[in-house]
Amino acid sequence: MAAPTDAKKRTQPPWEPPSGAGCPKLHLYNSLTRRKEPFVPQEGKKVTWYSCGPTVYDASHMGHARSYISFDILRRVLTYYFDYDILYVMNITDIDDKIIKRGRTNYLMDRYLLEASSPEQRLKDVQEAMKMFESKLNKETNPDKKQMYIGIAKATTEATEGLQSTLKSQKEGSEIEKSTKVMLEAARDPLCDWLDAEHGSEVKDKSIFFKLTQHWEREYHKDMDALNVLPADVLTRVSEYVPEVIAYTQKIVDNGFGYESNGSVYFTTSKFDTAPGHHYAKLVPEAFGDQEALKEGEGDLCISQDRLSEKRSANDFALWKASKPGEPAWDSPWGQGRPGWHIECSVMASSILGGSMDIHTGGVDLKFPHHDNELAQAEAHYDNDHWVHYFLHSGHLTIAGCKMSKSLKNFVTIKDALKQYTSRQIRLVFLLHSWKDTLDYSADTMDVAVQYEKTVNEFFLNVKAILRDAPSSGPEAFEKWNQPELDLNEKFETCRSKVNEALCDSVDTKMALESMRALIGQCNVYMQERRAAKAPPNRRLLQNAAVYITKMLRVFGAIEGDEPIGFPMSGAAQNVNVEETVMPYLQVLSEFREQVRQTARQQKAVDILKLCDALRDDILPDLGVRLEDREEGAAVVKLVDKETILRERQLAKQQAEEKQRKKEEAKRKEQEKQAAKDAQRRIPPSQMFLQETSKYSAFDDKGMPTHDAEGKELSGKQIKKLAKLYQAQEKLYNEYLKVSEATPSNDSVSAATNLS
């Protein structure tokens, strides 16, 4: 039928987008502006990133882990969550005052210990070294360092006195040798300083320094691998960039911001700061002129008076240092020398990333002077004012409120931390705190991370147990959603939204993990309610939640491997799903054990029940298998990392022992309290004050005090108070007498027994 000619022409209504809030954009806390800024890379999704690496002269500690794990988390989130293409550059400082001094002193100390010398001569050397050390102690103004020096001086004094006593008593050689060794260990730092002052200039072999740095760089990489920190895309070493440092320094001089003095080259901070378009100390302007910080930045070997007098201003800093005897040296237009500390990062970052970069990271303690000097050098070299767009600084790590520091000998090495906790637990403790805030490393802090890991792992295991009972495909894999499922899904969506908001908010992993913890709690409640109602939970919904949490923990670097749900089993061969392989056999074992238990119960076969318990409690846990008995049906089988189970058992044992100890302690205290109470009851009221001669000097015929210890008569108020105590004791004593009269003595009981 044809449409009527006069029909009204119909049009499609215009489409309008939903009025939602939209997706939040990533913001990062920028130390340059001291606020959160929208993150906008210079070139689309490409991100150029330079991170200050370690100075390799000693073992890496948890202060290093604080920075490198924090930056690894940021890098992973920007790469795997926000999908940026990152070029990550990191340096290794292998030329530095600390390295030079440590390399020299290690060499000199080893040589000294190999020399044939009597205990008396060793004692004399240490006493000489202590004169120099005490002078250093007296000049120290930093309270933390001063306290450390006092501790070293005290330990050394005690050790030297011990050796002197041993020598005077003319004990056998082994005792003298032992006392000498104790003294040398206590006095190592003072002795090293003394040896360096006496013989440091004699060290000429560069290999001494590079042998030290190569060893500790290898150890650093091992530590980072153990912590699951991604390796840098580009790794630079100062020793490989000396020609570039010389050329870079020359360009700064040519641009008018540097000058040569006595073979060293210094940066003119005042000229740079007053030049148009330049600003010195961008990160910490309030620290401009902080001489203590500037001296520390120059290094221990460059704070002598002759070095300081070379500078036109106390605020200037070294770009190139003229090498003294005993220091490694390279040829330069200004003579034999070596790179300054700050210039190395400017040069190496510029060599790879050019005249500007998106992100620069480092520890908060590097802000001034290191990073401020880096910025000044690079911007003087390129004549720009934007060498770094986003500066991200990780917070301090403290131990019981004190800064973790190698120079203060207040640190926990990464290797020692990994003996006590797993790499995942250490990473979780950083994830549970903001990357830019101070974090206190303690047993309590780590316990929070351990408990978080346990909560997450139990959730994974429970979901896996439910999924094993369900078909993975076909119509049976899909179940109707009722109100509980709708409610849980809404909470799931809320969690994902909150996690996204948290990561957009300067990568707030603390809030992200709290949101994930809340979702796990809601899933646990849902599973409990379904179990109570004897109704199966919606397996696919729980699976989606578990897959999401696994994915996010993988983004954060807390999960390795590609298993869709849960933590991987340690020691599993690559591309082998241990769970899929062994679970069918374990399920059969669990069902067989349940049948045996039921039969044993019916026949009251206690020994067989004990064997079933031993299988659950002792045998299977050693294989990484946990059985959880339930009211009906076979035990739930959970594959748990063997180390995790062993730690759980050890913790449970410790908690049980601690509980028993507290119980026994409470019982002992109660017995002591009762004994004291019984002893008090046995005292006649007439005797209770007579022994208190420090308080009273005279008593009446009832034993009541009448005068205080100085002979002054007691007031009526005091006597009234003492009378109340007297009456109370009289009551207790009378009760004691009644009980004594009613209870026959041991002698009476024995006599009665003999008569019978």
- 0.85 exceeded by pTM: no
pLDDT at res. 749? 44
CA-CA distances (angstroms) from residue 731 to 231, 673, 689, 699, 736?
Answer: 80, 19, 16, 21, 9
Residue 358 near residue 48, CB atoms below 8 Å: yes
Residues 6+ apart with CB under 8 A from 137: 146, 149, 150, 153
pLDDT at res. 585? 83
Tokens of 99: 């390295």
Q: How far apart are CA 207 and CA 196, in angstroms?
A: 17
For 285-340, list the strands marked E by DSSP. 317-322, 337-339
Residue 380 near residue 272, CB atoms below 8 Å: yes
Tokens of 249: 């320094």
pLDDT at res. 376? 97
Cis peptide before 369 (omega within 30 of 0): yes
Q: How far apart are CA 605 and CA 210, in angstroms?
A: 71
CA-CA distances (angstroms) from residue 232 to 49, 74, 392, 605, 669?
Answer: 10, 13, 17, 63, 59
pLDDT at res. 294? 86
pLDDT at res. 636? 87
Q: How far apart are CA 290 and CA 52, in angstroms?
A: 22
Q: Mean pLDDT for each consecutive 10-residue tract of the chain (756 residues)? A: 55 77 87 97 97 96 96 98 98 96 96 94 96 93 89 96 92 90 96 96 93 97 98 98 98 98 96 95 92 84 70 94 96 97 97 97 96 97 96 93 73 94 97 96 94 96 88 74 96 98 98 98 97 91 97 97 86 59 84 89 90 88 86 84 76 84 89 85 88 88 90 90 90 85 57 41
Q: How far apart are CA 543 and CA 565, in angstroms?
A: 8
